[in-house]
Amino acid sequence: MTAALSQPVPQGDYIPARRAGALIFTSGMTPRREGVLQFTGPVRRDQPLEEQRDAVRLACENALAAARGLLAEGESLAMILSLTVYVAAEPGFEAHSKLADFASARLREELGPAGIGARAAVGVATLPGNAPVEIQLIATV
């Protein structure tokens, strides 16, 4: 298990997450540590997927940290309802879903079967700061 990350640093005029009752919606999280992007894109079609594992996992951990930042003492995340993985990929890249599996695996490590919810893997031309991946979660307490 990875050491807990601090709350992600917003890169614009937004908050890391918003809670409504038992639901927590995170903003899109890129692979940053203390506000500094650790990986850049785009994801190349001829690049082994393993080379993006750490970027995907870090973005996912930031989303988890944002969600956990809204938990009251004694509360925990009960399940992930939805995971959206945006991939900044060059034309011809077709393994969006396989790349998103790295995020699903991270969530399963954290929450067991409750870490796997509905999911979308979406290819985009670019992401903020030239990030290779951005992850957004909807979770329940």
For the chain, list the domains and their CATH numbers.
30-140 (3.30.1330.40)
| Residues in the chain with pLDDT values less than 70 | 1-5
Interval 76-86: pLDDT, tens: 999 999 999 99
Helices (H), 1-141: 53-68, 96-111
Q: How many CB atoms lie within 10 A of CB 94?
A: 9
Total-model pTM: 0.93
How would DSSP label each residue in 105-120? Answer: HHHHHHHGGGG--EEE
Tell me the CA distances in angstroms from 111 to 102, 106, 134, 135, one per residue in order: 14, 9, 20, 17
User: What letter does residue 104 receive in the DSSP assignment?
Assistant: H
